[in-house]
Amino acid sequence: MLATVVALCNKVGLTSLAPLGEEGRLRHMAHHSRIRWYNPRLNTFEWREVPESDEEALSLLEGSPYSALCREAYREWRNLGAPIAEALIRAGEAAKQD
């Protein structure tokens, strides 16, 4: 991952990541990564963009028989400090294992 960031910086002529961090662009770029997760609504794995907020992530867990279990797993992981992407993946795993 770091090598990719460095290569991209070199490509656009940046010698430091400071300008990206100051303007929030690095955070924005990292935020829009894709994850592969088990979607309990579809009962299958899918690739998707990482949600921008907890509310958006929790809405993805609605509408399945496992919604309560998934919400609980998601909140537990977020309370432990996990990023949204990781918590969503773990919530999907909870549905898959049940």
The rounded distance, in Å, linking the Cα atoms of 41 and 43 is: 6
**Do residues 85 and 35 make contact, with C-beta atoms less than 8 angstroms apart?**
yes
What are 33-90's pLDDT values in tens digits? 999 999 999 999 999 999 999 999 999 999 999 999 999 999 999 999 999 999 999 9
Same domain, 17 and 62: no
CA angle 36, 77, 62 (to 5 degrees): 65
What are 7-34's pLDDT values in tens digits? 544 555 555 545 544 445 444 445 559 9
The two three-digit tokens of residue 78, written as one number: 């977020």
Strand, helix or coil for residue 67? helix
Total structural domains in the chain?
2
Same domain, 39 and 77: yes
Domain boundaries, position 59: 34-98
